Structure 1
Amino acid sequence: MEKVKNTFDVAIIGGGINGSSIAYQLSKIGKKVVLLEKNQLACEASSAAAGMLAAQAEIEQDGPFFQLALKSQSMFQALSNELLEMTGIDIEFIQKGMIKIAETEEMAKEVQQQAAFQRNWDPEIEWLDRNSLLKLEPSLSQNVTGGMYLPNDGHVQPAKLSQAFANAAELLGATILENTEVLSLIYENDRVIGVKTTLGNLHCQQVVLATGAWASKLLQETGLDITVYPVKGECFSVKTDTPIINRTIFSDKRCYIVPKRNGEIYIGATQVENTFDKKVTPGGIIRLIERAVKLVPQIKDAPWERVWAGVRPQTGDGLPYIGEHPFKKGLFIAAGHYRNGILLSPVTGTLVADLLQGKSDENLLKAFRIDRNKAKVY
């Protein structure tokens, strides 16, 4: 007979920010959860991200993805307080705003249109010309044309958020197993009944696959091939005693500059598709330095701090997969969040918890179905 300690309601595979968020939400409703991570919690994309909550800077049209992002963004203030009270971890939720920069007159027209569109959801969003921007952030380049100012945008420390989710789940009774790889899934009559791991078999009623860029691997054994592929992002940071900037600077030219509470400024990120290689290259960092200095010239003289890289999970249509496997009952997926994994982590946790209870909003989740893109079945 299987030992009771090896039997759970739900096994979550992947200890990144979304896996930990799901574990927290399921534990809150009394589910017996095991969170399985083959390395250490938040050791991949979740710790490499800058932590921007840029729903309205990155997503430029209305639709299910945009509405999901807005909903998740609105959850952070209460979540920050809740996790601090439960775990003592400050996720460093900072809401000083973001500026989406226009560097040319042509870009200015596009960003002005975006500002007008985004005011439908936040009337405080405004277009600022060069002079107004420089009053707000004097260290910006004199060459910027203008920018969309999003005063209510913010950012967090992703690794701390991941750890807070996991710690809170554990306090509520979840079991967390690091350095534990899931080798395969266990089925009975096309229903998942457990997972085979490097520590042995674990029995469960439901399994959630939250393995980011590695999501395709275990799904392939189920006869389903979805499009989730890695996109490497290289970043660097500088650290100053007095702030150079106070707000996040975001450019369409694949550059963001995020000032953190400890004086560090995160600058990212390159995009290198179809590689799990996290080596940082001189070429990638040089391109980032050039972009960053063009926007904020003082960065050129700021003390160097560190470089790093992470692997983001992208999908064929840019939307995450959130839903139940089409023909393996009890198997769910939450992966492919790409650049928005941190932003979407609160709502992903609640959506998946509802989904596993049969309470999901089918209209909302339709856009994120696993089989939406004619996934290959074999």
Structure 2
Amino acid sequence: MEQVENSFDVAIIGGGINGSSIAYQLAKMGRKVIIIEKERLACQASSAAAGMLAAQAEIEQDGPLFQLALKSQAMFSTLSSELFEYSGIDIEFVNKGMLKIAETEEIAAEVKKQVSYQRNWDPTIKWLDGKVLREMEPSLAPSVVGGMYLPNDGHVQPAKLTQAFAHAAVYFGAEIRENTEVLSFIFEDGQVKGVKTTNGVIHSEQVVVATGAWAAKLMRESGLDISVYPVKGECFSVRTEEPIINTTIFSDKRCYLVPKRNGEIYIGATMLENTFDNKVTPEGIASLIERATKLVPQIKEAAWERVWSGFRPQTGDGIPYIGEHPKWKKLFVAAGHFRNGILLSPITGKIVADLLAGRRQDEALLAAFHLERHKETVG
């Protein structure tokens, strides 16, 4: 039997959006990288997301997470062509803006405050009253009071983005092993030396845990409790013969409508904490249909396409974990991106690759993401 090469510079656990982005950046540096995925690439949250790049619609307060999101959002235009060159995959980057709508006067007052605040970073953001909104998007319900127009918030196809990162990493020499689960770490002399998997031992100089909502379970084996837990989201999509919306519609009432290039409209998403039960429920989809049709009544007449669910990786304080293990050297974590995994994937890949390469970092910015911020080290 042919001997499989099992020695690498970096082993990345998790073939989702962030694991694949990290692999791409490291492989471009010339590092020998392997992605280890217990199922298939992009099979969990990375394929379940709607792909919104909503830095300013989703994150409403300034701080390290917001600043990271702005930097990452700005990378997508160049990244789209770059990944196509190396992977041949079109990530379907669409940059037609977003409308964060207000359905009541009370919500309108809050959104107007957000407009004033967000213009500090993007002067093109503006408040539009209901009449102007419906001139832009005639399908919006008459009940919509107004909304914040964010011309620079776009979206991508998340599964294709993940695949593009991974295949571009392969272009630069990375290896991918699917259907391979990591069981434990190999530690020696105060640092990680590799991992034990269902398909044998993999030796590596550095290891990155990028397993999303499953990160806490694996990190416990290293003696560290990190507050990462799943938040289930159910979604559905419809298809129309002619486009009925052109921009992404985002409502504070846990509903968004994202018009994709292939004619589908993605509609989501429910939120249910602390469960890995992936079933899609009639109750969840019914609640989304009710919200969506109140915003865009024509959705009732669209052709039904499909339903799905996924697990967002949330943290106790809503901030991802990005950094090196406090006890075991050369073991790194990038997990807990919640609703912003797609948006933050380019900058996460760059930051983690630079950390592993020992490149200079913005220490003040990264301090917010460190692994010990909850002081939960155990063992």
Identify the TM-score tier after normalising by the shorter chain. over 0.9
**Aligned runs of 1:349-360 on 2, under 5 Å?**
349-359=349-359, 360=361
One-letter identity of the residue aligned with 1:343: L
One-letter identity of the residue aligned with 2:369: F
**Aligned runs of 1:226-241 on 2, under 5 Å?**
226-241=226-241
What do the CA deviations read for 1:234-260 (whole angstroms, capped 9, x no partner)? Answer: 000000110010000000000000000
One-letter identity of the residue aligned with 1:112: K
Runs of 4+ with deviation above 3 angstroms: none
Shift of 1:293: 0.4
- Give distance in 1, aligned partners of 2:183 and 2:148: 47
**Aligned runs of 1:328-347 on 2, under 5 Å?**
328-347=328-347
What do the CA deviations read for 1:281-335 (whole angstroms, capped 9, x no partner)? Answer: 0000000000000000000111100000001100000000000000110100000
Partner of 1:361: 362
Shift of 1:374: 1.9
- Give distance in 2, aligned partners of 1:120 and 1:270: 31
- Give distance in 1, aligned partners of 2:376 and 2:26: 28
- Give distance in 2, aligned partners of 1:128 and 1:90: 33
Shift of 1:90: 0.5
**Aligned runs of 1:192-271 on 2, under 5 Å?**
192-271=192-271
Partner of 1:159: 159
User: The residue matched to 1:309 in structure 2 has which SS?
Assistant: strand
Aligned-pair identity (%): 73
When residues 184 and 263 of structure 1 are mapped into structure 2, their CA distance, relative to the original with a 3 A threshold, is same
User: The residue matched to 1:65 in structure 2 has which SS?
Assistant: helix
Matched, 1:168 2:168: yes
- Give distance in 1, aligned partners of 2:362 and 2:174: 26
Shift of 1:217: 1.2
Partner of 1:40: 40
TM-score, normalisation: structure 1: 0.98
Shift of 1:376: 4.0
5+ residue gaps, structure 1 = none
User: The residue matched to 2:100 in structure 1 has which SS?
Assistant: strand
TM-align CA RMSD: 0.9
- Give distance in 2, aligned partners of 1:355 and 1:159: 26
Aligned residues: 376
User: The residue matched to 1:310 in structure 2 has which SS?
Assistant: strand
What do the CA deviations read for 1:35-94 (whole angstroms, capped 9, x no partner)? Answer: 000000000000000000000001111110000000000000000010111111110000
Partner of 2:49: 49
TM-score, normalisation: structure 2: 0.98
One-letter identity of the residue aligned with 1:370: L
User: The residue matched to 1:42 in structure 2 has which SS?
Assistant: coil
User: The residue matched to 2:343 in structure 1 has which SS?
Assistant: helix
- Give distance in 1, aligned partners of 2:94 and 2:198: 40
- Give distance in 2, aligned partners of 1:299 and 1:190: 57
User: The residue matched to 1:41 in structure 2 has which SS?
Assistant: coil
One-letter identity of the residue aligned with 1:216: A
One-letter identity of the residue aligned with 1:233: G
One-letter identity of the residue aligned with 1:73: Q
Shift of 1:198: 1.3
Partner of 1:104: 104
Shift of 1:4: 8.4
Partner of 1:314: 314
Shift of 1:128: 0.2
Matched, 1:274 2:252: no
One-letter identity of the residue aligned with 1:365: L
- Give distance in 2, aligned partners of 1:259 and 1:222: 42
- Give distance in 1, aligned partners of 2:119 and 2:46: 30
- Give distance in 1, aligned partners of 2:309 and 2:218: 24
User: The residue matched to 1:257 in structure 2 has which SS?
Assistant: strand
User: The residue matched to 1:170 in structure 2 has which SS?
Assistant: helix
One-letter identity of the residue aligned with 1:363: A
Partner of 1:371: 372
- Give distance in 2, aligned partners of 1:371 and 1:271: 27
One-letter identity of the residue aligned with 2:119: R
- Give distance in 2, aligned partners of 1:202 and 1:87: 26
Partner of 2:87: 87
Partner of 1:289: 289
Shift of 1:194: 0.7
- Give distance in 2, aligned partners of 1:305 and 1:198: 37
What do the CA deviations read for 1:114-167 (whole angstroms, capped 9, x no partner)? Answer: 011111111110000010100000000000000000011100000000000000
